[in-house]
Amino acid sequence: MKPVNLLPPKHRPHAPSGDREGGSYIVIAVLGALVLAVLLYVLVSNQVSDRKAELARVKAETASARASAGPLAAFGDFARIKQTRLASVRALATVRFDWERLVRETALVLPSGVYLTNMSASSGGQASGGSGGSSGGQGGNPAGGPEAELTGCARSHAQVAVTMVRLRQLHLANDVELTSSQSTSSGGSSAAAGSGSASGGDCGKGVQFSAKVEFDPETGRDAGEPVPASLGGGS
């Protein structure tokens, strides 16, 4: 016989029907997603706050470093000025030439009876600023060193030849060229001969000559060499 429940529906015990199966899992999943989102938000907020604090600290350190470096900037400028001046001195030292030594050696190597009426020299291959006359001709030293142009008088052409040989004894001389050599008569100036013109006064009854001496560039090692005793140096 089938039992009959006489209780009203609202008083009857609840029995799952199975129509809404899995609904509680959806609610739990939604709640879990919300909790995860809140957690991520908190983590990101904390990270942003840390980065802002670090940025503020770095800016403060930068400002402090700039304030400390300000008084020291002048020392950096002095260091740069020192380096610039040292570079300038080194550059000048590489192109310097001992002109005093050249004049002294020239006076010592000239044969007896030979004298100069004009001497001009330059460090860049173009003679200028001579003594006793105008500068010599335009030219260039293939070696890149100084050159000197000499005009003088001798008793004979043989003495001129000896002078050319002796001029090769000058310090760092690499080439000696006779540009003119002409006999003169008393009371008149010599005429030009060769590749240049000789000028600088009356040689009387003798020979007026003009020569060009080319020198190798002077280096620091050459500058430190002592002057030989035969050329006026110490013993």
Up-side HSE of residue 63: CA atoms within 13 Å toward CB? 6
* Average confidence score pLDDT of the chain: 78
What pLDDT digit, counting tens, does each position of 162-180 carry?
A: 999 999 999 889 999 999 9
What's the pTM?
0.49
Cβ atoms 139, 82 nearer than 8 A: no
What pLDDT digit, counting tens, does each position of 16-69 carry?
A: 665 556 667 888 888 899 999 999 999 999 999 999 999 999 999 988 888 887
Q: Determine the angle formed by the axes of helices 99-109 and 157-167, rounding to 10 degrees.
A: 140
Secondary-structure percent of the chain, ordered helix, strand, coil, rounded to 5: 45, 15, 40
- Placement of tokens 């090769």 in the chain: 168
Maximal C-alpha separation, the chain: 175
For residue 32, give the H/E element and its range: helix 23-69
- Give which of 115, 94, 96, 93 is closest to 106, Cα–Cα: 115
Domain extent listing, the chain: 27-69, 99-231
